[in-house]
Every structure is written in structure tokens, then in C-alpha cells.
Structure 1
Amino acid sequence: MNENDGKEFAELGVKQWLIKQLFTLGIRAPTPIQKGCIAQILGGHDCIGAAKTGSGKTFAFALPILQHLAEDPYGIFALVLTPTHELAYQIADQFQILGQQLKLRVCIVTGGTDQLEESLKLAKRPHIVVAMPGRLADHITGCNTFSLKKIKYLVLDEADRLFSESFQGDLETIFEALPQKRQNLLFSATITDAVRECKPLPLNNDKLITWSESDPQLTVTTLDQRYVVCPAYARDVYLVQTLRKYRETKASSHVIVFTDTKKECQVLSMMLNAIGMDNVCLHGFMRQKERASALSQFRSNLKCTLIATNVAARGLDIPSVDLVVNHKLPLEPREYIHRVGRTARAGRSGMAVSLITPYDILRLGEIEEQIKTKLSDYIPTDRVMPLSDIAFRYDLASKPIEPVGIWV
């Protein structure tokens, strides 16, 4: 490192040992959200941060937390709440990498493992607890052997999702177990009115900063966003054709296909495997070990296609993802933003293709209005139908049955 290396981080108040750690990760300059939030968090402010997916939100709160922890290391110092298992493990990994010099102890509390084992880890007073609200609330109301009364930081990652009705009761239980004096840090790519008002979590208005990008476009400019118009009954055939067309130019590319329901996810994965398109799937009906295995195979290039529900739509950072396909448009425009944010991250390019029927035109318009971007054709209709492919009909329970027609 020369004298100018890390200058921008140093100007934000980041200590040299953390800057060196960032350099080992190839990070030499802060992103806009890091510039807007790190110094303020170090100064003791509560923070609401909104930025496009892949913009470095995790390090925007992890760096200040680790710097303060180094001054007086004790457990439990910070609590990070997330809506999904996969995001919890990713955040924990990023804390571990940044905090290597501190011999950081991180505990993940998400369920899917033995609750007694989690309790024993919490009893050892780790520095950072990364948790899903439901499982942590179970520990608090049960026979808990730990205390959250001395935490300095509460982080809500993907705050808009955490403030949904499904997490409300669990959050109330957790907030009652926390000290009144603490810093509250809320981050997401989409900040809703519920987050801004933050009724379940009163913020320190005298020391509150709200940072969001000035760019009204909610998706990055390096993301090429397209659509394919198809009849509803032939959606799967058009999906196969879309994947084949894309792999003609990028054979080894990594692709995530998003579906709406767990059953659709499983059946679609089976269908693609049956026609020779190797893939793994990820959804909420799977055991935690199976989910971790699927994600590991996808990250490590053993499988190049991941079929997933919205459990993979939030926060996951897999740099090799080149294409995101929406098998169906999500009901909420903000979920579209999170889904397509799995590609074109940190300045890289990527593509998102959505399969739409004539009944989806209004929903597509709502998405375009929200993201301030117009989607364009990927495969013109007159070029799809002449291409031969087999349309399979599948038993919803398990196995594919006989082909029911050939599109020509």
C-alpha cells in the first residue's frame, strides 16, 4: 500500500487495519452508500440506507461495527436480523472475513439446525449474532442462556421485508429484549413507508440520517432488461427456448430462474433436469442442509442453473450470475427489483429476462414505472414458434409423464 491507498476510506474515519483487510479483498474505494453512511454511523447516528442491489450495503454497516468492537471487544456486541437463511450465512461470512484480526466470533441463528446447539453457541457470548427473527424469538421466549441487553448495534438488513406482517410478532419479542440505548441501522434496496415511519422501532430522530441514491432509476445501468411474450400454456417451452438462446453465446454462464411458489420451483427443476438442462433448486420446503448444498453447488460452478423462489431474491451476492429469468413476473414491483439485482452487481454487466403473457401487460407497466426503465423484446414471437421443442406435462406430485405435444 502506498500513501494514497485507502485515502477515501481513511477520510471516512475507517482505521488502517480495516483498510488493509479491504485491500486483501480487492476493495480500494468506498461505494456511494458507504461514503454516505460509514462516517455517520461511526459518529453515533441511527441510519436508514437505501441503494441499488450490489452496491456494498453490508460493508456500510459492518465496517463501523467492527471498528467500534475492536475498541472494546465483548459479546454480544451487535445483532443483525435478516429475512432468509441464505442471506444470514452470507452476512456472517463477510463479518468473519473483515474481522479476522479480531478473532471474531459470529453466531448464526436461523433454524434448520438443532436448537440446543444454537443455544450453546449463544451462551458462549459471540461478538456478532446474525439471525432470522422467528428462530431468535423462539430462543428469547424459551429457556435462553444469553442476554441481548448490552448490544450496541441493531441492524435490519432488507428492512422492508422484515417489517412485513409475517415478522411482526417476532420483531416485537426481540425488541423487548434489547436495550433502549443502541444504534439502529436499517438497509435495503427498496425503502418503503413502513421503514421510513419505523413505528415498531423508534429511532433517535435527533441523530438519524437517511441516505438514498439521487438516481431515480432503481436498477443499475449495466443491467440489460428484456421480456419474452408467450401464451400462458406454453410458458415452460418459452423458458427452455430462452435459456438455450442465451447459452448459445454464453455456454458456461450462471443463470437464476425465479418462480412464485415452492411447488412450481420443484416441478420446474425436475422438468429441466428431465430434458438435460442440469440444475439445482432452492425453496422453503427444503431442509437447511439441502438448501446450503444447492447454493454451494451453484457458487462452486458444479451447477450453472439455479431454480429458486424469492428466498434467493434478497441480498445474495454471487458475482458469476450473468442472467436472471423471471418464470413469472412477481406480484410486487419491489420484488422484481430484488430478483434482477442478483446479476449486474458491483459494476459488472448482466441480463434479466421476464416471461410475460398478455395478462401481465399491466403488471409490466407498473414495474417499468417503478424502475424508470422500459424493457425490450428478447425473442420476437415470430422467431420462437418455428423452433421445435417438446412440451412436457408433469404430475404435480413427482415424476414427468408422457410428452403431450410438439411445438413446430
Structure 2
Amino acid sequence: MIIVHSIPGKPKSSIDNGGWSRLEKFKALGISDRILQSLNTMGFEEPTPIQAQTIPPAMDGKDLIGQAQTGTGKTAAFGIPLIEKSSNKEGQLQAIVLTPTRELAIQVAEELNRIGNQAGVQSLPIYGGQDIVRQIRALKKHPQIVVATPGRLMDHMRRKTIRLGQISIIVLDEADEMLNMGFLEDIETILQETPDTRQTLLFSATMPRPIQTLAQRFMKDPELIKIQAKEVTIPLVEQQYVEMQERQKFDVLSRLLDIQSPERSIVFGRTKRRVDELSEALKKRGYSAEGIHGDLTQGKRDSVIRQFREGTVEILVATDVAARGLDISGVTHVYNFDIPQDPEGYVHRIGRTGRAGQTGVAVTFITPREIDHLRTIERSTRRKMLRMSIPTVTEAREGQQRLAMDKLLRVVQEGRIDPYKTRAEELLNEEDSVSLLAAALKLLTKETNNLTIQLTPESPLRVRKPFQKKTHKGTGNRGRVYAGDKNNRGKFNPPPRNLPQQTLH
């Protein structure tokens, strides 16, 4: 039986009247005030179709299959019921979310923590490649939700640092992608270790036969919610990409800023360190830029966003997490300095521009080894990005000169220049008009700053290779131990206590 936990004596809501009216459609889904407060802080306005159709039955305890493309709000669709049904008492792991990649695990855990902020529900990402001792220490703090990749979760199961006997909900996020990566047997093993009374929520963009079989075997009369595939990126956003070497990125960004002269732009970096270095480097080259990321105090974050809204800061450098919930009008350009980890992240980023009927431009920087990942994003979003050549220094200079000409012409059209005409006639007696106009353009033109800037190289985007099934006896891929005959495949067999245990990565 699925128990919906309630918190007695809820504090009075701090949402203002404007927030309540904006969140009325969320409230109609039966969402509690504590979650609505978090959604208000995150900048949510109204539920997406997958959220509106998924949240009520999920909160009623039903098993669900949600078929929808990335970029449709799936994380909140399962995250809101997950937080609602989790108790904030410590000492008991209550829910598991399985994701195909560590990047998605981090992203989902961060969003769940934001949704669960007012409810006191903590989510912890667990994935290969991170020090397992550090993960074990974090698990001792008793998070209510663990977001994990299958291989690393099984590693913790073998070590008995995660026990699934008390789990009430399990979510399979991007199930078809986990299938493509060879995680099907791992998922079956994990599901077998959870209670029969658990609630299962499965989300997948496609429904291949193995996923259907998995659902039939492990789910109880699941309700299918299917959102029709459509173009999920913003139609008014012009989407382009530039291919270059990592060391060229900053110079290319500077040239694009000079050529395109965005009124208000956001530059996305993959990490907090990247954001800090980028914002400082832009300032050194004379641009009006500030950075925001998760390590900033709320006061500093609010100050930077206020300056960006007011126009005293023209370029906002941000991580994905820090930019979530931003509702700032007038953003004309988005620059993906580092390619997003997944299509949903890409849709979120470029959605910062092209709002309220206005057009926008999104430019993504990629290195040669990231071209396949770019094509994956294009297929998922059903939009082709236009290839842009690397701009030259000459083009950047010409762009600044055109901007200076526009400024001069705009001043002429606005009028109110009569007080300056007498001085202008005096100057014409000294020099010819072409020379004077050239001098005015030079004064108005932002000179290209060739100051050498060295950024710390980022770790390349890691894309996992498809899983190759092994048929010999012994230890299978990712440290799974199984007997070789087909009757025992997928069964969970912990190694003997006296044998060294393997760490999954």
C-alpha cells in the first residue's frame, strides 16, 4: 500500500497574490502549499501537458508509463508527486530514480532538491566516476531520495550501503536510453530487489518491445500517458552552431559579441569554475558581464539578476542550475559556450530567448568530438541547427563600425542636435567631412581587445558506448556477477564476504 505522508501544522504560505494566480493551474492538480512555494521560487507558471496529465494519477499511487520527448517537463512531472509522497523524517530511503547517465542524475537530483526545498526532502545523486567513499558518507546523512545510474546503484546494493526493502516509489527516467546503453538486466535486477508494493513510474520517449515487456512484468495495471511528439524548441529562435577547437572558444565568443552586439545575452558554461573564469575574462576584455552559479549567496544572485534586468549588466554567464526559473524579458542572444549535456538542457537554455513573440538567436559552440552529440540534440528537438563559420577579427571590427554608424544615424533621426551644429561648422572649416565622420566613428567604435585570455580546459563531454552483452561465465559488465546459463541471467548474486568487492564506474 502506498502511503501519502502529510505534514501537520503547515506554515502559512509566503506566496504573494501574483504567485498564487500564476500557479492556480498547479494548485488545481492538488499540489500542497509547500511545493507551490518552491515552484513559485523556481519561476514555474503553468503545467506542461505531461505534468498536467501525470501528476494527479501519480499522487493517487497509480503505476504510470509516460511517453514524451525530452524538453516537455518530465522531471517535474514525476518529481512533484515524488516529493509530495515523501516524508521529511530522516533515517529511511523512500524513493529511487534511475537515469542512464551521471549528467542526468546530477540534473534530476538538483531539480528535485529545488522542488523539495520547502518540504525538507533531500535528493542525492549516485553515479560512477565519483569516489564511492564520498558517496557512502553522503548516504549516511539519510537522504529520502536517491537518483542513480544502474551500475553504481548495484554496487551500493552489493556493499549494503543502499537497501531497497523500504522503497515505496521507483522512477525509470529515459528508459529507452537505458535500454540502448545495455542496462536492461541491471534494471530487472534492481526491480526484483524492491518491494512488490512499490509504485513504479516509467518515462520513455519511445516504447520498443523490451520496454513494453519490462512494463508488463514489473508494473501493476499501468496507466499510459502519451504526449504527441512535436517540435519542442522555440520556433522564433534562430539556432546555429560553430565548430572549433577548445582553445578558440573565448576568442570566437568575443568576436560574436562584437559582431552581433546583443542588447542582453546569456552565456552558458558547464561548471561553476567555468562561469567564474568566463565572467572574469569578459570583464578583462571590457564587456559588461557577471556570473551566477549555485555557490553564490542568495543576496549576490539577486543583485546580479537585478542588474541584468535593469541593463547595467549586458551579459549574464550562468550554469544550467543557476539559470532555472529565470524569467527575464528582452534576452536577444544565448551562447552555449559548452554544449549542453542532454536535449532537455538545450531546450531549457535556448528558451531564455525568443519569448513573448520576440525573435532570438542561439549559438552553440562545439569541438570536433562533440558533433555526434550535437546531432543527437537535433534529432530529439526536431530542429536542424545552421552551421556558422568562425568569425574573423576583421568581421568583428566591421561589426563594431556598423554599430557606431547606427548610433550616429539614430541620433540624427532623433533630432535635438541644433546646439551642436555651430561647433560642427567650425570643424568643417578645419577638416573635410569624410575625415570628421571617420574620426567620430573611431571614437564610437569599441576597439577589438586582443588581450590574451587563458581558460582552464574543461573535461570533454563523455558519451557512453552501447553495452556489449557478455555470454561467458564469471563477472559481467559493470561488475555484475551472474551465472552464465540463461536461467540465472539478471539474478542478483552478491560476492562472498571474504572476496574484495568491485567498484563500479
TM-score (structure 1 length as normaliser): 0.62
Q: Is the 8 A contact 1:163 1:194 kept in 2?
A: no
CA, structure 1 residues 382+26, in 2 after alignment: closer, same or farther (shift >3 Å)?
Answer: closer
**Displacement of 1:26:** 3.7
Q: Is the 8 A contact 1:226 1:378 kept in 2?
A: yes
Label 1:242 to 1:374 Cα distance change in 2 as closer, same or farther (>3 A): same
CA gap 1:73/1:222 in 2 versus in 1, 3 angstroms: farther
1:132-171 residue pairs with structure 2 within 5 A?
132-142=149-159, 144-168=160-184, 170-171=186-187
1:340 equivalent in structure 2: 346
Go from structure 1 to structure 2 and tell me whether the alpha carbon gap of 1:181 and 1:215 turns closer, same or farther (over 3 Å shift). same
Paired with 2:268 and 2:234, the residues of 1 have a C-alpha distance of 18
**Secondary structure, in 3 states, of the residue corresponding to 1:255?**
strand
- The amino acid that maps onto 2:224 is I
1:376, distance to aligned residue in structure 2 (A): 4.7
The equivalent position to 2:261 in structure 1, one of 249, 258, 269, is: 249
Q: 1:47 aligns with which of 65, 78, 89?
A: 65
**Structure 2 residue 24 is matched with structure 1 residue 18:** no
Instruction: Check 1:130–1:7 CA distance in 2 against 1; reply closer, same or farther (3 A cut).
Output: same
Query: 1:345 Cα deviation (Å)?
Result: 3.2
Pair 1:99-2:116 in alignment: yes
The alignment partner of 1:155 has SS state of strand
After superposing the two structures, state which structure 1 stretch, 97-106 or 367-376, moved more: 367-376
Which residue type is aligned with residue 164 of structure 2?
Answer: L
The CA distance in 1 between the partners of 2:263 and 2:208, in whole Å, is: 43
Mean Cα deviation higher: 179-188 or 242-251: 242-251
The correspondence of residues 215-364 of structure 1 with structure 2, limited to 5 A, is 216-227=230-241, 240-241=251-252, 244-246=255-257, 248-250=260-262, 253-256=265-268, 318-319=323-324, 323-324=334-335, 337-338=343-344, 340-345=346-351, 351-353=361-363
d(CA) in 2 for partners of 1:304, 1:6: 27
Q: 2:105 aligns to what?
A: 88
Equivalent position of 1:208 in the other structure: 223
Q: Secondary structure at the match of 1:163?
A: helix
Change in 2 beyond 3 A, CA 1:166/1:92: same
Contact 1:343 1:351 in 2 (8 A): no
For residues 333-374 of structure 1, the C-alpha deviation after alignment (integer angstroms, 9 at most, x for no partner) is: xx8845632522377656444689xxxx9x999987875545
Per the alignment, in what secondary structure is the counterpart of residue 86 of structure 2?
helix
Pairing partner for 1:129 from 146, 167, 187: 146
Aligned match of 1:61: 78
Cα gap change, 1:255 to 1:347, in 2 (>3 Å): closer
For 2:85 and 2:134, locate their aligned partners in 1 and report how far apart those are by CA, in whole Å.
29
Alignment match, 2:453: none
Amino acid at match of 1:220: I
* Structure 1 runs not aligned, ≥5 long: 259-268, 279-293, 307-311, 391-396, 398-408
Q: Does 1:177 align with 2:193?
A: yes
- Determine the C-alpha separation between the residues in 1 that align with 2:117 and 2:380: 40
Mapped partners of 2:391, 2:133: distance in 1: 56
| Cα distance change, pair 249–89 in 1 and its aligned pair in 2 (3 A) | same
3-state SS in 1 of match to 2:163: coil
> 1:90/1:383 Cα in 2 relative to 1: closer, same or farther (>3 Å)?
closer
CA distance in 1, matches of 2:163, 2:390: 59
Give the secondary-structure state (helix, strand or coil) at the position aligned to 1:66: helix
Give the Cα separation in 1 of the matches to 2:174 and 2:186. 16
Change in CA separation of 1:28 and 1:146 when aligned onto 2, cut-off 3 Å: same
For residues 121 and 336 of structure 1, the distance between their equivalents in structure 2, rounded to whole angstroms, comes to: 26
**1:207/1:161 CA distance change after superposition, 3 Å:** closer
Counterpart of 2:309 in structure 1 is none
SS at 1:206 equivalent:
coil
State the alpha-carbon separation in 1 of the partners of residues 106 and 377 from structure 2: 30
**Whole-Å separation in 1 of the counterparts to 2:119 and 2:338:** 44
Residue type at the aligned position of 2:240: R
Given that 1:318 and 1:342 are in contact with CA atoms closer than 8 Å, whether structure 2 keeps it comes out as: no
**Aligned equivalents of 1:102, 1:380: Cα separation in 2:** 48
By percentage of residues, which structure has more strand? 1
Letter in 2 for 1:318: A
Provide the residue aligned with 2:52 in structure 1.
35
Aligned residues: percent identity? 27
TM-score (norm. length: structure 2)? 0.52
Which whole-Å deviations, capped at 9, do the CAs of 1:387-407 have from their partners, x for residues lacking one? 89x9xxxxxx9xxxxxxxxxx
After superposition, the Cα gap between the structure-2 partners of 1:183 and 1:317, relative to the gap in structure 1 and judged at 3 Å, is farther
The structural deviation recorded for 1:78 is 0.8
Structure ID, larger Rg: 2
Take 2:27 and 2:149, find their aligned partners in 1: how far apart are those partners? 33
Q: Distance in 2 between matches of 1:29 and 1:138?
A: 39
Asked if 2 retains the 8 angstrom alpha-carbon contact of 1:151 and 1:179, the reply is yes
Would the aligned equivalents of 2:266 and 2:317 in 1 still touch at CA under 8 Å? Answer: yes
Distance 2:240 2:132 in 1: 44
Amino acid at match of 2:32: K
The one-letter code of the counterpart of 1:134 is: G
Number of aligned residue pairs: 349
1:187 deviates by 3.7
Specify every segment of 5 or more residues in structure 2 that has no aligned partner in the other structure, as ranges. Answer: 1-15, 284-292, 305-314, 398-447, 451-456, 458-505
